[in-house]
Amino acid sequence: MASKESVTGIIQEAQVNTSHGGEKKTYKKANEHYGNTPRAVVSQYIFRYERCVEKRCRKETTAGIVVRPLSVNDLHERGQVDLVDMQTMREGSYRFILHYMEYMTKFHVIRSLKSKRAAEVANELLFIFLDIGAPHILQSDNGREFTAAVIQELAALWPEFVLVNGRPRHPQSQGCIES
């Protein structure tokens, strides 16, 4: 049994023996030798212990995805398209928003759509391309929706046209259009 005065030393020793492994490991290690080490005291010690605080802060600042920016040198080299589902806030019969962005100039075009059928999406993209020009690479994160036959016909209009599909519902692959 540990006395009140020795609990801090016991917790510190258990923490060093677990290589600063955290609250659960420290608690388990301390209770291997002493049966009355309170978990709340272990938790407070870990929270206040300087090295563990540094470790926790380092984890918080280094966590996350590092996204490399795309390098674009020419106008219409890359375009990004996204479909936004607005069915919960629809305006009349319009349920989707087509968001197109020319990557170099960050020029945005937004069109409302009644459905996300490939024919309707391809038709709106064609109007956009006729207005501002077609990109060499069209990037989308909508997955199979854009691999339909109508989109392939759109690609047939421009032989240099390349269709790039990102991972579905993965905004990080889409870059700044999702921002």
Q: What are phi and psi of 121, to 5 degrees?
A: -65, -45
pLDDT at 89: 82
Residue 39 sits in the same domain as residue 114: no
CA-closest candidate to residue 8, choices 29, 30, 24: 30
pLDDT at 57: 54
**What tens digit of pLDDT does each residue of 16-31 get?**
777 767 778 877 887 7
Query: Residue 103, exposed/middle/buried by CB under 10 A (0-12, 13-18, 19+)?
Result: buried
**What tens digit of pLDDT does each residue of 40-75 get?**
777 777 777 655 555 555 555 555 566 677 778 888
Orientation angle between helical segments 149-157 and 118-132, nearest 10 degrees: 20
Tell me which residue range forms the domain holding 143: 78-178
DSSP secondary structure code for residue 66 in this structure? -
CA-closest candidate to residue 125, choices 54, 86, 142: 142
Residue 47 sits in the same domain as residue 126: no
In a domain, 48, yes or no: yes
pLDDT at 109: 95
In a domain, 15, yes or no: yes
In a domain, 115, yes or no: yes
pLDDT at 102: 93
CA-closest candidate to residue 43, choices 1, 70, 11: 11
Residue 58 sits in the same domain as residue 87: no
Residue 91 sits in the same domain as residue 130: yes
In a domain, 70, yes or no: no
Q: What is the number of domains present in the chain? A: 2
Q: What are phi and psi of 161, to 5 degrees?
A: -65, 130
Residue 159's CATH number? 3.30.420.10
**What tens digit of pLDDT does each residue of 87-135 get?**
788 778 899 999 999 988 999 999 999 988 877 888 888 889 889 988 8
Q: Can you name the residues that pair with 165 across neighbouring β-strands?
A: 140
Residue 113 sits in the same domain as residue 29: no
CA distance readout (Å), 16 to 36, 56, 57, 134, 135: 19, 16, 19, 62, 59
